[in-house]
Amino acid sequence: MRNYTNQYVTESQSSKKWSWKWELTKFTVQIIFIMFSLSLPFLFLIRGAIYLYHEYNINTWIGLMGGITMSALCIWAYFSIISLMIVNIKKIRFSHLKWSAISVALIVLSYVVFALFSFTGNNAKNEKIRAEYTQLHPYLKISVRTFLFLDKGMLITDLSRTPDDYTSMRLQKKGRSLHYKQNTGYVHAMDLRTKNRPFWMVWMAQLYFKSLGFNAVRHGGTGDHLHVSLSIYERQGSW
């Protein structure tokens, strides 16, 4: 007697057609998931520090240590999950987890130090900008230096200003500007060149800085540019 049930299942399975749309959707979702997972530790680093500043007015360097802690915990969680997938849980000792956590924390801290002090000035418009770079807020410094891995042609066109600078540029003098040195001791804004830049590179830069928690506004004034800034605690939402 023929097994009609098995025959029906076999024919049903074979009748399913390969769908390129479904495969493309799966591939796209997988790529997005991988990219998000890889960027999550950096998001914790910067967004975590900005969150602590905006919510609790925490000191810049204490907030940065908070961001480093969140980033290190995220990477350590990845490491622990991968270890559990490879090694039997009974073979993993507490000392292994402890030393892996310390190692991850040192790696994140080393990267932060690198990002803060490795800017060569090649991506600054002139010597004035190079000199003013030391006044830029550390969260912006780390973000800019990291973005240079994606866009080596990025150019900083403006950083620190005074009220008189607006007069010399024939613009209305501003009482408040994030280009001024704030009570944190740092300048909270910078301008990036958009002229002769591919629109998708400008769009990518804008998306990048916004995703990290900064303001990223393209506007004129001194000419078309991308204005990137960190709102101060006293005036959140200002740019």
The pLDDT, as a whole number, for residue 5 is: 55
The pLDDT, as a whole number, for residue 225 is: 92
Closest CA to 210 of 101, 54, 60, 47: 47
Q: Give the chain's residues under pLDDT 50.
A: 1, 15
- CATH code where residue 186 lies: 3.30.1380
Total domains, the chain = 2
Domain residues for the domain of 72 are 20-116
In a domain, 2, yes or no: no
d(CA 30, CA 68): 27
Do residues 138 and 110 both lie within one domain? Answer: no
Angle of CA points 130, 134, 138, to nearest 5°: 125
d(CA 151, CA 123): 10
The pLDDT, as a whole number, for residue 164 is: 77
Do residues 56 and 83 both lie within one domain? Answer: yes
Which of 97, 116, 135 is a domain's end point? 116
The pLDDT, as a whole number, for residue 237 is: 87
Do residues 54 and 125 both lie within one domain? Answer: no
What are 41-80's pLDDT values in tens digits?
999 999 999 999 999 999 999 999 999 999 999 999 998 8
The pLDDT, as a whole number, for residue 3 is: 55
The pLDDT, as a whole number, for residue 90 is: 63
Do residues 92 and 105 both lie within one domain? Answer: yes
Do residues 140 and 74 both lie within one domain? Answer: no
pTM, to two decimals: 0.86
Do residues 193 and 107 both lie within one domain? Answer: no
The pLDDT, as a whole number, for residue 89 is: 63
